Amino acid sequence: LDVVSFRNNNGRKRAETSKKPTDPETVHSDVLAKVEFNSGGNRGQVTALLAYQGLAWNLREHLMERMIATQNLWREKDPKFVYYLSAEFLMGRSLLNTIQNLELYEPYAQALKMLGYNLETLAEKERDASLGNGGLGRLAACFLDAMATMNLPGWGYGIRYKYGMFKQIIKDGEQMEVPDVWLTDGNPWEVRRPDVVFPVSFGGKLKKTVTGSHELVEWIPDEQVIAMAYDVPIPGFNTQNTGNLRLWESLPVNEFDLDAFNKGDILSAYNEKGRAEAITSVLYPNDSTPEGKALRLKQQYFFVSASLQDVLARFKKVHGNQFDLLPEKACFQLNDTHPTIGIAEMVHLLVDKEGLDWEAAWGITTKVFAFTNHTIMPEALEKWPVKVMREFLPRHMEIIETIDTQWQAFLEEKLSEMPKAEKQAAIDRMAIVHPNQWNKEEMLVNMAHLAVVGSHTVNGVAQIHSDIIKSTIFKDFHGVFPLKFQNKTNGVTPRRWLVFSNTDLATLITEALGTQEWMTNCKLLEGLKPFAEDAEFRKKWSAVKRKNKERLGAKIRELTGDDVDTSSMFDIQIKRIHEYKRQFLNVLSVIRRYNTIKAMTPEERKSVVPRVCVIAGKAASSYERAKDIIRLVGAVGDTINTDPEVRDLLRLYFLPDYNVSLAEVIIPAADLSQHISTAGTEASGTSNMKFQMNGSLILGTMDGANIEIAEEIAAIQGPDAKVGDGLFIFGVDAKDVPKLRKERKEFKTDPRWDEIMDMIKKGTFGNDKFEALVDSVNDMTVGNDWFLLANDFATYLDVQDEVDAMWKNQDEWVRRSILYTASSGKFSSDRTISQYAEEIWDVQPLAVA
Ligand code: 4GP
């Protein structure tokens, strides 16, 4: 597939903003005017916050102008659109991303200087928009960037959470969660749209009227809220085109109960407001309580209903009631199961509101939805109790039951050749509504099954993951619809993750390649290959890395108070904390390294490669085992970092409150990054791609996208290289995992493993013995080491030795680093999105001239 065909054709000419001037003087005076007129500030004393806001308002006008031009063109030409429905968008900061996407860095940096500020320092004033948990949320943000850059007609739709991902504070080694009050200073990057509002209903009952063979169902809800839109313009890079992320806020129909207030019942006066606003208050409320579950279901329905109503309203303006045209004009990508209720909502809107018959409505529905699965972790495969669904969405529950009945009837036909009992078992396995396996009394709606049945395409996010879902969670479905399943290997935006966060490296690359074209056509990075052999170039490459390490060193000092030696190897693992991602295994190897150094003579210590190990990431608030891991990292770090015999050779830090902005500082500074999930458990991973782009060597298992990264790195080395050459690969094969799990009880652990387990349990680190954590991998009467840490431990230590040996050969290390970047082109989200556009969405680019 030719990524180039998706690039806009105006070459390297900057995509000019049409009306607003961008010279430094005008920007300066415009920012001052904004400070004065928008916020009543004093132009003689522009605080950092006011300067940031003034600048952001100025930029938003550019964005709005472009967005309006884009929307006007699209309205006029009426192309097919993709709507990316996602409960998460992990956007991070906008200021520098906007300035650089619009290629306005120089004049804006100058204008700010005139105000007495440095652009980079000021940019840090902005709070991250953390409207997501991790991988799938950040992926959605990268996809929006790619869609805008490639001029694809499409919008994102999501929730404007008042409190995003919690802020992580580490207190006495423990993770504490504090609300993320990201909106207190206002959000200059959004536009409130009181003119774009839709009602969203819950609860109540159904009223049915039968006329002839036709049954009319009317849903009489007992609760209603208003969904109000906020538009967040999404700048494309080197194009006029500007996309849109529409986020919904939930508001009460009646804001205030004056009657209650007048009667002295002050708090009840706000009841309805509180209930309505709760829906969009918090990202993923804890769903371990029934109240939490209901709230999460309400969130999902809320944003999906508002989004579909919005799309249908626009469609009807142009095409009236010709709903059979909808599949030619719209496509909805379900980002995991969270928006899956949209399938039932589409049927509800078409049948109950628009008067279509069931067959027509269902036919249209199955042509407009496509579904992406992001994980096979059972806890993430959403299943809603029928009871809860019926209480809050009675009509949708009925629609789902009808879909399920028809689906099962279809299967009866389709599988008619099978012996009866076998057929019934297959149908039961594929049912949308089925009993809870732990409590047969309770019936559940399986959202992944609904998503597969209601979508025309289902995809995984890396080749191995797409293969695994066809043989595990969706095996039966794949048997029925082999052609429905596709792979779309993830990608990340090279703009945010390389060009803007590692500007020195980007400059060096551009100098070497003699063009900036690689920023929108990452395959051109292959042109770096010969430079890997050039000693002068390698020197420059190392100098950039060193500078980035200084920047991270300063960050570590700010966060921990410690100075680190930037000539040490920076060894990084950053991602959500989860047992399958095996941060615990990483800590075990750090302990091993500590023991080894302790046992050495001073002379022997001279040959040790000094390392600074960094781990960062958040644990779900109710995930105790993950929180144990964070505590262990902290406790082991405290022991090592204060041990005078060791601290010059080894450090371990847990950096708090990992988010997009911290990642932007960490990734460019990594020498080594770790992606060590048990084979077959990490769907793809995307930080592995960011690290590769930034020339960090990879230590990992053959899992997720690591495999494809290894293939690309092998390919660039030439026909003799094998997959895995140039990376540090270890661990069991995905295909062996089920068998090894069964045999884990009999597995003979390595003596070094036993020694470390004893150390931890004896209380060597901190005040704790971490018994539950240790037992989960070591005591087969308590845990089962499901993620096979013990099996992979020895080969992990071996490969760590290979890392050290390679580090001592800096020429080879840097050579590889360059080859990593050179071979990272495949992992641009531009490539991923162009594949979605061609192979799933059938959406074509349409650029503002
Ligand atoms: C993540 C997967 O764990 C990760 O492997 C993948 O790269 C990412 O999605 C994007 O596809 N899953 C989630 C989740 O974020 O919440 O399930």
Contacts with 483 (C-beta within 8 Å, 6 or more apart), sequence order? none
Does ligand 1 have an atom closer than 6 angstroms to the CB of 382?
A: no
Which amino acid does the sequence have at 662?
L
Q: Of all atoms in ligand 1, which is nearest to the CA of residue 138?
A: 10
Distance 228 CA to ligand 1 centre (A): 29
Distance in Å, CA 492 to ligand 1 centroid: 13
Task: Say how many Å lie between the CA of residue 134 and the centre of ligand 1.
Answer: 7
Is the per-residue pLDDT at 11 higher than 60? no
Q: What is the CATH number of the domain that holds 260?
A: 3.40.50.2000
Q: Is the CB of 490 under 6 A from ligand 1?
A: yes
Q: Does ligand 1 have an atom closer than 6 angstroms to the CB of 139?
A: yes
Q: Is 75's pLDDT higher than 50?
A: yes
Instruction: Measure 138 CA to ligand 1 centroid, in angstroms.
Output: 9
What confidence tier does 18 reach under pLDDT thresholds 50, 70, 90? low
Residues 299, 338 contacting (CB under 8 angstroms): no
Assess whether pLDDT exceeds 70 at residue 286: no
Cβ of 135 closer than 6 Å to ligand 1, yes or no, is: yes
467 occurs within a structural domain: no
Task: Report residue 261's pLDDT band, with 50, 70 and 90 as the boundaries.
Answer: confident
What is the pairing mode between strands 697-700 and 728-729? parallel
Question: In this prediction, what percent of the chain has a pLDDT beyond 70?
Answer: 97
Which is the closest atom of ligand 1 to the Cα of 490? 11
pLDDT band at 7 (very low <50, low <70, confident <90, very high): very low
In this predicted model, what pLDDT tens digit does every residue of 597-633 receive, in sequence order? 999 999 999 999 999 999 999 999 889 999 999 999 9
Quick one: pLDDT at residue 689?
98
Q: What is the pLDDT of residues 674-710, one digit of tens each?
A: 999 999 999 999 999 999 999 999 999 999 999 999 9
How many Å lie between the centroid of ligand 1 and the Cα of residue 379?
13
Mean pLDDT across 470-476 = 96
**Kindly report the CA angle at 164 between 162 and 170, in degrees rounded to 5?**
130
* CA torsion angle 348 353 356 362 (round to 10): -20
User: Does ligand 1 come within 6 angstroms of the Cβ of 681?
Assistant: no
CA 541 vs. chain centroid, Å, equals: 29
Helix then strand count (H, E) for the chain reads 33, 24
* Amino acid at residue number 744: R
DSSP 166: P
Mean pLDDT lowest among 13-27, 215-229, 532-546, 778-792: 13-27
Distance between alpha carbon 443 and the CA centroid of its chain, in Å? 31
CA distance 477 to 470: 8
Between 730 and 16, the more confident residue is 730
Query: Which of 574, 570, 513 has its CA nearest to residue 546?
Result: 570
pLDDT surpassing 60 at residue 279 = yes
Q: Indicate whether 575 pLDDT > 50.
A: yes
> Contact at 8 Å (CB) between 240 and 70?
yes
User: Where does the pLDDT of residue 211 fall: very low under 50, low under 70, confident under 90, or very high at 90 and above?
Assistant: confident
Question: Cα separation of 645 and 593, whole Å?
Answer: 13
Q: What spacing in Å lies between the alpha carbon of 133 and ligand 1's midpoint? A: 9
Separation of alpha carbons 254 and 272, rounded Å: 7
CA-nearest of 154, 131, 85 to 305 is 85
Whether 841 has a pLDDT exceeding 70, the answer reads yes
CA angle 313, 317, 321 (to 5 degrees): 80
Report the residue count for the chain.
849
Ligand 1: which of 86, 88, 374, 464 to mutate, most ligand atoms within 8 Å of CB? 374
Nearest to 486 by CA among 510, 452, 438, 511: 452
Ligand 1 atom 16: residue of nearest CA? 136
CA distances from 53 to 38, 47, 102, 112 (A): 9, 10, 18, 12
Which is the closest atom of ligand 1 to the Cα of 682? 5
Which pLDDT value is given to residue 16? Answer: 52
In a domain, 483, yes or no: no
* Percent of the chain whose predicted confidence (pLDDT) is above 90: 89
Mean pLDDT, rounded, for 91-113: 94
Nearest ligand 1 atom to alpha carbon 377: 17
pLDDT above 80 for 285: no
Q: Is 675 left (phi over 0), alpha (psi -120 to 50) or beta?
A: beta
Q: Is the CB of 686 under 6 A from ligand 1?
A: yes
From the list 541, 646, 636, the residue with the least C-alpha distance to 584 is 636
Q: Ligand 1 center to residue 148 CA distance, Å?
A: 22
**How much is the average pLDDT of 97-116?**
93
Q: Which atom of ligand 1 approaches the CA of 465 most closely?
A: 5
Question: 346 and 364 in contact (C-beta within 8 Å)?
Answer: yes
Taking 3-state DSSP, the helix, strand and coil percentages for the chain, each rounded to the nearest 5, stand at 50, 15, 30
- Mean pLDDT in residue range 73-93: 97
Q: What is the mean pLDDT of residues 230-252?
A: 96
pLDDT score of 9:
32
Look at residue 234 and tell me if it is in a domain: yes
**Cβ contact 693:492 at 8 Å:** yes
Write out the E strands in 148-294: 154-159, 167-171, 174-178, 191-202, 205-211, 214-220, 223-235, 242-252
Query: Quick check: CB of 374 below 6 Å from ligand 1?
Result: yes
**Phi, psi angle pair for 230, to nearest 5°:** -125, 130
Q: What local confidence, expressed as pLDDT, does residue 718 receive?
A: 94
Give me the torsion for CA of 453, 458, 460, 466, rounded to 10°. Answer: 80
- Is residue 197 a part of any domain in this protein? yes
Torsion sign across C-alpha atoms 318, 324, 327, 331: positive
Distance 197 CA to ligand 1 centre (A): 32
Ligand 1 centre to CA of 375 (Å) is 6
What's the order of all strands across the beta sheet hosting 433-436?
A: 383-385, 439-446, 433-436
Tell me the C-alpha distance between 195 and 231, whole Å: 12
Asked if residue 280 has its Cβ within 6 Å of ligand 1, the reply is: no
ipTM of model? 0.98
pLDDT at position 154: 97
Tell me, yes or no, whether 109 lies in a domain: no
Q: Would you say the CB of residue 134 lies under 6 angstroms from ligand 1?
A: yes
pLDDT at position 255: 83
CA 628 remoteness from chain centre = 24
Q: Is the CB of 231 under 6 A from ligand 1?
A: no
Q: Residue 685 is which amino acid?
A: G
In this prediction, residue 675 carries a pLDDT of 98
pLDDT of residue 20: 77
Q: Ligand 1: does its nearest atom lie under 6 Å from the Cβ of 683? A: yes
- Which residues are within 8 A (CB) of 439 and not within 5 positions of it... i.e. 6 or more apart? none
**Ligand 1 pocket member 705 (CB < 6 A):** no
Atom of ligand 1 nearest to the CA of 137: 15
Mean pLDDT of 556-585: 97
Confidence at 39, pLDDT banded by 50, 70, 90:
confident
Contact 56, 27 (CB under 8 A): no
Torsion-angle region of residue 284: left (phi > 0), alpha (psi -120 to 50) or beta?
A: left
Can you give the pLDDT at residue 270?
A: 86
Phi/psi of residue 287, each to 5°?
Answer: -105, 25
- Report pLDDT for 287: 62
At residue 766, the pLDDT reads: 87
**Pocket mutation for ligand 1, best pick of 165, 372, 373, 375 (most atoms within 8 Å of C-beta):** 375
Query: Helix, strand, or coil here: 374?
Result: coil
Nearest CA to ligand 1 atom 8: 135
In a domain? residue 38: no
- Structural contact between residues 253 and 226, judged by C-beta atoms closer than 8 angstroms: yes
Rg (CA), the chain: 28
Give φ, ψ of 486 to 5 degrees: -135, 170
Confidence (pLDDT) at 6: 27
The structural domain count of the chain equals 2
End-to-end CA distance of the chain: 24
Q: Please work out whether the CB of residue 492 comes within 6 Å of at least one atom of ligand 1.
A: no
Whether ligand 1 lies within 6 angstroms of the CB of 136 is answered as yes
Q: How many angstroms separate the alpha carbon of residue 562 from the centre of ligand 1?
A: 33
> Counting beta carbons within 10 angstroms of the beta carbon of residue 474, is it exposed (0 to 12), middle (13 to 18) or buried (19 or more)?
buried
Q: Provide the annotated active-site residues.
A: 374, 575-576, 581, 686, 690
Residue with more model confidence, 8 or 123:
123
Name the helix (H) or strand (E) containing 305: helix 290-319
- Chain mean pLDDT for the chain: 94
* pLDDT for the residue numbered 13: 47
Token pair, residue 139, equals 């992926």
Confidence of residue 377 (pLDDT cuts 50, 70, 90): confident
Question: Is-contact 304 342, C-beta < 8 A?
Answer: yes
pLDDT digits (tens, 9 = 90+) for 429-456: 999 999 999 999 999 999 999 999 999 9
- 787 is in which domain, residue-wise? 551-827
461 C-beta closer than 6 A to ligand 1: yes
Ligand 1 atom having least distance to the Cα of 704: 5
Structure tokens at 242: 């500007």
Query: Would you give the DSSP letter of residue 780?
Result: T
Q: Flag whether 8 is in a domain.
A: no
What pLDDT does residue 293 have? 80
Residue 685 CA: nearest ligand 1 atom is 7
Q: Which two tokens stand for residue 42?
A: 């004093």
Burial class (CB in 10 A: 0-12, 13-18, 19+), 743: exposed
Q: Is residue 390 part of a domain?
A: no
Residue 16 neighbours by CB under 8 Å, 6+ apart: 240
Q: Is the CB of 766 under 6 A from ligand 1?
A: no
Beta bridge partner(s), residue 333:
84, 370
Per-residue pLDDT, 256: 82
The answer to whether residues 158 and 84 touch, using CB atoms and an 8 Å cutoff, is no
Mean pLDDT of 787-813: 98
pLDDT of residue 258: 87
- Residue 139 CA: which ligand 1 atom is closest? 10
* Distance from the alpha carbon of residue 694 to the mean position of ligand 1, in angstroms: 21
φ, ψ of residue 260 in degrees (nearest 5): -60, -45
Q: What is the pLDDT of residue 10?
A: 36
